[in-house]
Amino acid sequence: MQQNNESINRKREFAPFTCTYSPQVPDLLMKLGCSIAISTYQAGKIVFISAKNEKELVQLPRLFDKPMGIAEHPQKDKLALATKDEVIVFANSRNLAAHYPKSPNKYDALYMPRITYHTGPLDIHDLRFGNNDQLYAVNTLFSTIVQLDDDYNFTPFWSPPFIDKIVPEDRCHLNGMTMQDGKPKYASCFNQGNTHQSWRDTITTTGTIYDIESNEVVATDLAMPHSPRLYNNDLYVLLSATGELVKIDVDKGSHEVVTRIGGFVRGMSLHKDYLFVGLSKVRKSSSTFGKLNISEEENQSGVVIIHLPTGKEIGRITYLNSVEEIYDVHVLGNKIRPNMMNTMTPDHKGGLMIPQTTYWSRLKEEKT
Protein backbone atom coordinates (compact mmCIF):
# COMPACT_ATOMS: atom_id res chain seq x y z
CA MET A 1 0.00 0.00 0.00
CA GLN A 2 0.98 3.61 -0.48
CA GLN A 3 0.25 6.75 1.45
CA ASN A 4 -1.50 9.81 0.06
CA ASN A 5 1.60 12.00 -0.21
CA GLU A 6 2.61 10.09 -3.33
CA SER A 7 1.20 11.23 -6.66
CA ILE A 8 -1.45 8.86 -7.97
CA ASN A 9 -1.69 10.56 -11.33
CA ARG A 10 1.57 9.24 -12.73
CA LYS A 11 1.16 6.50 -15.27
CA ARG A 12 2.68 3.38 -13.81
CA GLU A 13 1.90 -0.22 -13.08
CA PHE A 14 0.41 -1.02 -9.69
CA ALA A 15 0.23 -4.35 -7.91
CA PRO A 16 -3.31 -5.73 -7.50
CA PHE A 17 -5.38 -3.99 -4.81
CA THR A 18 -3.00 -1.05 -4.56
CA CYS A 19 -4.50 1.79 -2.57
CA THR A 20 -3.57 5.03 -0.87
CA TYR A 21 -4.69 5.98 2.62
CA SER A 22 -4.64 8.86 5.05
CA PRO A 23 -1.62 8.61 7.38
CA GLN A 24 -3.80 8.38 10.50
CA VAL A 25 -5.85 5.36 9.35
CA PRO A 26 -3.46 2.58 10.50
CA ASP A 27 -3.08 4.16 13.93
CA LEU A 28 -6.84 4.54 14.26
CA LEU A 29 -7.47 0.87 13.44
CA MET A 30 -4.87 -0.16 16.00
CA LYS A 31 -6.38 2.05 18.70
CA LEU A 32 -9.87 0.75 17.90
CA GLY A 33 -8.60 -2.84 17.83
CA CYS A 34 -10.52 -3.66 14.65
CA SER A 35 -10.24 -4.58 11.00
CA ILE A 36 -12.40 -3.69 8.00
CA ALA A 37 -14.08 -6.22 5.73
CA ILE A 38 -15.38 -5.08 2.34
CA SER A 39 -17.24 -7.04 -0.31
CA THR A 40 -16.55 -6.20 -3.95
CA TYR A 41 -18.75 -8.19 -6.28
CA GLN A 42 -17.06 -6.58 -9.28
CA ALA A 43 -13.67 -8.04 -8.29
CA GLY A 44 -15.18 -11.20 -6.78
CA LYS A 45 -13.46 -10.70 -3.43
CA ILE A 46 -13.87 -10.18 0.28
CA VAL A 47 -10.98 -7.97 1.36
CA PHE A 48 -9.81 -7.70 4.97
CA ILE A 49 -8.02 -4.41 5.70
CA SER A 50 -5.92 -4.36 8.87
CA ALA A 51 -3.23 -2.27 10.50
CA LYS A 52 0.23 -3.80 10.12
CA ASN A 53 1.57 -1.21 12.54
CA GLU A 54 0.85 2.44 13.39
CA LYS A 55 1.85 3.59 9.89
CA GLU A 56 1.01 0.77 7.50
CA LEU A 57 -2.05 -1.13 6.36
CA VAL A 58 -2.14 -4.69 5.06
CA GLN A 59 -4.83 -6.41 3.00
CA LEU A 60 -6.01 -9.98 2.59
CA PRO A 61 -8.32 -10.66 -0.39
CA ARG A 62 -10.36 -13.87 -0.56
CA LEU A 63 -12.08 -15.14 -3.70
CA PHE A 64 -15.88 -15.58 -3.84
CA ASP A 65 -18.45 -15.58 -6.63
CA LYS A 66 -20.08 -12.12 -6.55
CA PRO A 67 -19.91 -11.42 -2.79
CA MET A 68 -22.53 -8.95 -1.54
CA GLY A 69 -24.02 -8.59 1.95
CA ILE A 70 -21.96 -9.38 5.07
CA ALA A 71 -23.59 -10.27 8.39
CA GLU A 72 -22.04 -10.84 11.81
CA HIS A 73 -23.84 -12.75 14.54
CA PRO A 74 -24.30 -10.32 17.44
CA GLN A 75 -23.47 -12.93 20.11
CA LYS A 76 -21.70 -15.80 18.37
CA ASP A 77 -18.40 -15.40 16.57
CA LYS A 78 -19.86 -16.04 13.12
CA LEU A 79 -20.06 -14.31 9.75
CA ALA A 80 -22.45 -14.88 6.88
CA LEU A 81 -21.83 -13.86 3.28
CA ALA A 82 -24.26 -13.57 0.38
CA THR A 83 -22.81 -14.61 -2.98
CA LYS A 84 -24.17 -15.07 -6.49
CA ASP A 85 -26.32 -18.09 -5.68
CA GLU A 86 -25.35 -19.13 -2.13
CA VAL A 87 -25.23 -17.80 1.41
CA ILE A 88 -22.26 -19.14 3.36
CA VAL A 89 -22.01 -19.13 7.16
CA PHE A 90 -18.54 -19.07 8.74
CA ALA A 91 -17.44 -19.76 12.31
CA ASN A 92 -14.28 -18.23 13.74
CA SER A 93 -11.58 -20.40 15.31
CA ARG A 94 -8.73 -18.58 17.00
CA ASN A 95 -6.97 -21.92 17.55
CA LEU A 96 -7.01 -22.80 13.86
CA ALA A 97 -5.81 -19.27 13.12
CA ALA A 98 -2.84 -19.62 15.47
CA HIS A 99 -1.73 -22.84 13.79
CA TYR A 100 -2.64 -21.94 10.20
CA PRO A 101 -0.10 -24.03 8.25
CA LYS A 102 0.76 -21.34 5.70
CA SER A 103 1.36 -18.61 8.31
CA PRO A 104 1.48 -19.81 11.93
CA ASN A 105 0.92 -17.18 14.64
CA LYS A 106 0.06 -14.50 12.08
CA TYR A 107 -3.72 -14.27 12.32
CA ASP A 108 -5.92 -13.78 15.37
CA ALA A 109 -9.12 -14.96 13.66
CA LEU A 110 -9.89 -17.55 11.01
CA TYR A 111 -13.41 -17.83 9.63
CA MET A 112 -14.13 -21.37 8.47
CA PRO A 113 -17.14 -22.30 6.28
CA ARG A 114 -19.72 -24.30 8.22
CA ILE A 115 -23.05 -24.08 6.36
CA THR A 116 -23.97 -23.20 2.78
CA TYR A 117 -27.51 -22.29 1.78
CA HIS A 118 -28.09 -22.99 -1.90
CA THR A 119 -30.45 -20.10 -2.54
CA GLY A 120 -30.16 -19.81 -6.30
CA PRO A 121 -29.38 -16.48 -8.04
CA LEU A 122 -31.64 -14.18 -5.99
CA ASP A 123 -29.48 -11.03 -6.18
CA ILE A 124 -29.31 -10.91 -2.38
CA HIS A 125 -28.18 -7.55 -1.07
CA ASP A 126 -28.24 -6.91 2.70
CA LEU A 127 -27.96 -9.91 5.01
CA ARG A 128 -28.55 -10.05 8.79
CA PHE A 129 -28.70 -12.52 11.67
CA GLY A 130 -31.84 -12.34 13.80
CA ASN A 131 -33.30 -14.09 16.81
CA ASN A 132 -32.58 -17.82 17.21
CA ASP A 133 -29.79 -17.64 14.61
CA GLN A 134 -32.36 -16.91 11.88
CA LEU A 135 -30.82 -15.44 8.73
CA TYR A 136 -32.75 -12.68 6.98
CA ALA A 137 -31.83 -11.53 3.49
CA VAL A 138 -32.98 -8.81 1.12
CA ASN A 139 -34.02 -10.75 -1.96
CA THR A 140 -33.81 -7.95 -4.50
CA LEU A 141 -34.81 -10.05 -7.49
CA PHE A 142 -38.12 -11.05 -5.87
CA SER A 143 -38.70 -7.68 -4.11
CA THR A 144 -38.99 -9.27 -0.69
CA ILE A 145 -37.16 -9.81 2.60
CA VAL A 146 -36.77 -13.52 3.15
CA GLN A 147 -35.76 -16.07 5.75
CA LEU A 148 -33.21 -18.77 4.94
CA ASP A 149 -33.53 -22.37 6.10
CA ASP A 150 -32.93 -25.91 4.89
CA ASP A 151 -36.47 -26.43 3.52
CA TYR A 152 -36.67 -23.99 0.60
CA ASN A 153 -34.54 -21.65 -1.49
CA PHE A 154 -36.18 -18.90 0.56
CA THR A 155 -39.25 -18.25 2.67
CA PRO A 156 -40.87 -14.82 2.17
CA PHE A 157 -40.98 -12.72 5.35
CA TRP A 158 -42.06 -9.25 4.15
CA SER A 159 -42.67 -7.39 0.92
CA PRO A 160 -43.57 -3.72 0.45
CA PRO A 161 -47.36 -3.40 0.46
CA PHE A 162 -47.48 -2.24 -3.16
CA ILE A 163 -45.88 -5.49 -4.39
CA ASP A 164 -48.81 -7.67 -5.41
CA LYS A 165 -46.90 -10.76 -6.48
CA ILE A 166 -43.57 -12.33 -5.54
CA VAL A 167 -41.94 -12.77 -8.94
CA PRO A 168 -38.32 -12.40 -10.19
CA GLU A 169 -38.69 -8.91 -11.66
CA ASP A 170 -36.73 -6.59 -9.31
CA ARG A 171 -39.76 -4.33 -9.31
CA CYS A 172 -38.65 -1.67 -6.79
CA HIS A 173 -34.98 -2.51 -6.19
CA LEU A 174 -35.49 -3.42 -2.55
CA ASN A 175 -31.88 -3.42 -1.33
CA GLY A 176 -31.33 -2.67 2.37
CA MET A 177 -32.60 -3.47 5.84
CA THR A 178 -31.70 -2.85 9.43
CA MET A 179 -32.63 -4.87 12.49
CA GLN A 180 -34.26 -4.07 15.82
CA ASP A 181 -34.70 -6.58 18.66
CA GLY A 182 -33.63 -9.42 16.39
CA LYS A 183 -36.11 -8.72 13.57
CA PRO A 184 -36.03 -6.60 10.39
CA LYS A 185 -37.25 -3.09 11.22
CA TYR A 186 -36.59 -0.70 8.30
CA ALA A 187 -36.05 -1.37 4.59
CA SER A 188 -34.87 0.75 1.67
CA CYS A 189 -35.96 0.59 -1.97
CA PHE A 190 -35.63 2.83 -5.03
CA ASN A 191 -39.34 3.41 -5.68
CA GLN A 192 -42.83 2.09 -5.09
CA GLY A 193 -43.30 0.48 -8.48
CA ASN A 194 -45.04 -2.81 -9.13
CA THR A 195 -43.76 -3.66 -12.60
CA HIS A 196 -40.54 -5.13 -13.97
CA GLN A 197 -37.58 -2.86 -12.99
CA SER A 198 -39.88 0.15 -12.74
CA TRP A 199 -37.27 2.01 -10.69
CA ARG A 200 -34.77 2.59 -13.49
CA ASP A 201 -36.35 5.74 -14.93
CA THR A 202 -36.56 7.66 -11.63
CA ILE A 203 -33.68 6.35 -9.55
CA THR A 204 -32.61 9.72 -8.12
CA THR A 205 -35.98 10.99 -6.88
CA THR A 206 -38.24 8.19 -5.65
CA GLY A 207 -36.25 6.29 -3.00
CA THR A 208 -38.33 5.09 -0.06
CA ILE A 209 -37.78 3.87 3.51
CA TYR A 210 -40.37 1.52 5.00
CA ASP A 211 -41.15 0.61 8.58
CA ILE A 212 -41.48 -3.16 8.21
CA GLU A 213 -43.31 -3.64 11.48
CA SER A 214 -46.04 -1.06 10.78
CA ASN A 215 -45.94 -1.57 6.99
CA GLU A 216 -45.83 2.18 6.47
CA VAL A 217 -43.62 4.62 4.57
CA VAL A 218 -41.41 6.68 6.89
CA ALA A 219 -39.52 8.66 4.23
CA THR A 220 -39.68 9.08 0.48
CA ASP A 221 -38.32 11.16 -2.44
CA LEU A 222 -34.79 9.99 -1.55
CA ALA A 223 -31.84 9.77 -3.95
CA MET A 224 -31.02 6.04 -4.25
CA PRO A 225 -31.11 5.05 -0.55
CA HIS A 226 -28.81 2.24 0.54
CA SER A 227 -27.62 0.70 3.81
CA PRO A 228 -30.25 1.76 6.37
CA ARG A 229 -28.75 1.35 9.85
CA LEU A 230 -30.00 1.97 13.38
CA TYR A 231 -27.28 3.50 15.53
CA ASN A 232 -28.13 4.68 19.05
CA ASN A 233 -31.83 4.42 18.11
CA ASP A 234 -31.37 6.85 15.20
CA LEU A 235 -31.95 5.76 11.61
CA TYR A 236 -29.12 6.57 9.21
CA VAL A 237 -29.19 6.02 5.44
CA LEU A 238 -26.74 6.56 2.61
CA LEU A 239 -28.02 8.45 -0.43
CA SER A 240 -25.89 7.01 -3.21
CA ALA A 241 -26.89 9.48 -5.93
CA THR A 242 -25.89 12.54 -3.88
CA GLY A 243 -23.03 11.08 -1.85
CA GLU A 244 -24.66 11.95 1.47
CA LEU A 245 -25.06 10.38 4.88
CA VAL A 246 -28.46 11.38 6.26
CA LYS A 247 -30.42 10.86 9.47
CA ILE A 248 -34.11 10.07 9.04
CA ASP A 249 -36.76 11.51 11.33
CA VAL A 250 -39.14 8.54 11.27
CA ASP A 251 -41.96 10.54 12.88
CA LYS A 252 -41.90 13.50 10.50
CA GLY A 253 -40.69 11.70 7.37
CA SER A 254 -37.92 14.25 6.92
CA HIS A 255 -34.15 13.86 6.88
CA GLU A 256 -31.10 15.93 7.69
CA VAL A 257 -27.70 15.67 6.06
CA VAL A 258 -25.09 14.54 8.57
CA THR A 259 -22.26 14.99 6.09
CA ARG A 260 -21.69 15.02 2.36
CA ILE A 261 -19.05 12.42 1.53
CA GLY A 262 -19.19 12.72 -2.25
CA GLY A 263 -19.20 9.90 -4.75
CA PHE A 264 -21.38 6.78 -4.86
CA VAL A 265 -21.77 5.79 -1.21
CA ARG A 266 -22.99 2.31 -0.24
CA GLY A 267 -22.24 0.00 2.68
CA MET A 268 -21.48 1.25 6.19
CA SER A 269 -20.60 -0.05 9.63
CA LEU A 270 -20.25 1.71 12.98
CA HIS A 271 -17.53 0.82 15.49
CA LYS A 272 -17.53 2.88 18.68
CA ASP A 273 -17.85 6.50 17.43
CA TYR A 274 -16.48 5.84 13.95
CA LEU A 275 -18.54 5.12 10.87
CA PHE A 276 -16.88 3.29 7.98
CA VAL A 277 -18.57 4.02 4.62
CA GLY A 278 -17.95 2.37 1.25
CA LEU A 279 -17.28 4.33 -1.94
CA SER A 280 -17.79 2.91 -5.43
CA LYS A 281 -17.00 4.09 -8.91
CA VAL A 282 -19.98 4.72 -11.15
CA ARG A 283 -20.21 2.51 -14.21
CA LYS A 284 -20.23 5.03 -17.05
CA SER A 285 -21.23 2.26 -19.45
CA SER A 286 -24.44 1.66 -17.49
CA SER A 287 -27.52 3.25 -19.06
CA THR A 288 -28.94 3.77 -15.56
CA PHE A 289 -26.03 4.63 -13.27
CA GLY A 290 -24.12 6.50 -15.96
CA LYS A 291 -26.69 9.29 -15.62
CA LEU A 292 -25.62 10.15 -12.07
CA ASN A 293 -24.10 13.58 -11.62
CA ILE A 294 -20.84 12.48 -9.99
CA SER A 295 -17.69 14.33 -10.98
CA GLU A 296 -14.50 12.62 -12.07
CA GLU A 297 -12.83 13.82 -8.88
CA GLU A 298 -15.49 12.05 -6.82
CA ASN A 299 -15.61 8.90 -8.93
CA GLN A 300 -13.42 6.80 -6.63
CA SER A 301 -13.65 3.54 -4.73
CA GLY A 302 -12.56 2.89 -1.18
CA VAL A 303 -13.60 3.47 2.43
CA VAL A 304 -14.28 6.79 4.17
CA ILE A 305 -14.10 7.04 7.97
CA ILE A 306 -16.48 9.48 9.65
CA HIS A 307 -16.51 10.54 13.31
CA LEU A 308 -20.26 10.19 13.75
CA PRO A 309 -20.80 12.54 16.73
CA THR A 310 -19.32 15.45 14.74
CA GLY A 311 -19.91 14.29 11.16
CA LYS A 312 -16.28 15.02 10.31
CA GLU A 313 -14.20 12.91 7.97
CA ILE A 314 -11.27 11.34 9.82
CA GLY A 315 -9.56 9.55 6.96
CA ARG A 316 -10.06 7.48 3.85
CA ILE A 317 -8.70 4.57 1.87
CA THR A 318 -8.71 4.94 -1.93
CA TYR A 319 -8.13 2.10 -4.38
CA LEU A 320 -6.01 2.71 -7.44
CA ASN A 321 -6.94 -0.56 -9.13
CA SER A 322 -8.72 -3.91 -8.72
CA VAL A 323 -11.58 -2.59 -6.57
CA GLU A 324 -14.09 -0.40 -8.39
CA GLU A 325 -17.45 -1.28 -6.83
CA ILE A 326 -18.00 -2.03 -3.15
CA TYR A 327 -21.29 -3.36 -1.87
CA ASP A 328 -20.86 -3.87 1.85
CA VAL A 329 -18.53 -2.64 4.58
CA HIS A 330 -18.33 -4.37 7.95
CA VAL A 331 -16.02 -3.63 10.87
CA LEU A 332 -14.74 -6.63 12.82
CA GLY A 333 -14.19 -5.59 16.42
CA ASN A 334 -11.38 -7.23 18.42
CA LYS A 335 -9.90 -8.63 15.20
CA ILE A 336 -6.42 -7.33 14.43
CA ARG A 337 -5.51 -9.70 11.56
CA PRO A 338 -8.51 -11.81 10.46
CA ASN A 339 -8.41 -14.51 7.80
CA MET A 340 -11.11 -16.49 5.99
CA MET A 341 -11.27 -19.74 4.07
CA ASN A 342 -13.48 -19.88 0.99
CA THR A 343 -15.13 -22.97 -0.46
CA MET A 344 -13.61 -22.55 -3.91
CA THR A 345 -10.30 -24.18 -2.98
CA PRO A 346 -9.66 -27.30 -0.84
CA ASP A 347 -7.73 -25.44 1.88
CA HIS A 348 -10.71 -25.20 4.23
CA LYS A 349 -11.04 -29.00 4.33
CA GLY A 350 -7.83 -29.28 6.32
CA GLY A 351 -9.14 -27.30 9.27
CA LEU A 352 -11.21 -29.40 11.66
CA MET A 353 -13.26 -27.86 14.48
CA ILE A 354 -14.84 -29.90 17.27
CA PRO A 355 -16.20 -28.62 20.61
CA GLN A 356 -13.05 -29.25 22.67
CA THR A 357 -10.21 -28.84 20.21
CA THR A 358 -9.13 -28.20 16.62
CA TYR A 359 -6.89 -29.97 14.12
CA TRP A 360 -5.12 -29.18 10.90
CA SER A 361 -4.96 -32.29 8.75
CA ARG A 362 -2.50 -32.74 5.93
CA LEU A 363 -4.11 -32.46 2.51
CA LYS A 364 -2.57 -33.51 -0.72
CA GLU A 365 -1.60 -30.38 -2.59
CA GLU A 366 -3.70 -29.67 -5.65
CA LYS A 367 -2.76 -27.42 -8.52
CA THR A 368 -5.17 -24.54 -9.02
pTM (predicted TM-score): 0.93
What's the CATH class of domain 19-345? mainly beta
Identity of the residue numbered 98: A
Instruction: Give per-residue pLDDT as tens, 63-104.
Output: 999 999 999 998 999 999 999 999 999 999 999 999 999 999
Q: Do residues 71 and 79 lie in contact, with contact meaning Cβ atoms separated by under 8 Å? A: yes
Q: Do residues 2 and 17 lie in contact, with contact meaning Cβ atoms separated by under 8 Å? A: no
**Cα-to-chain-centroid distance, residue 303:** 11
- Residue 8, pLDDT score: 47
Instruction: Give per-residue pLDDT as tens, 132-181.
Output: 999 999 999 999 999 999 999 999 999 999 999 999 999 999 999 999 99
Instruction: Give per-residue pLDDT as tens, 201-219.
Output: 899 999 999 999 999 999 9
Instruction: Give per-residue pLDDT as tens, 105-142.
Output: 999 999 999 999 999 999 999 999 999 999 999 999 99
Q: Give the separation between CA 330 and CA 48, rounded to whole angstroms.
A: 10
Q: Over 90: is that where the pLDDT of 13 sits?
A: no
| Sign of the alpha-carbon dihedral angle for 7, 12, 15, 16 | positive
- Residue 362, pLDDT score: 74
Element (H, E) at 357: strand 357-360
- Residue 38, pLDDT score: 98
- Residue 148, pLDDT score: 98
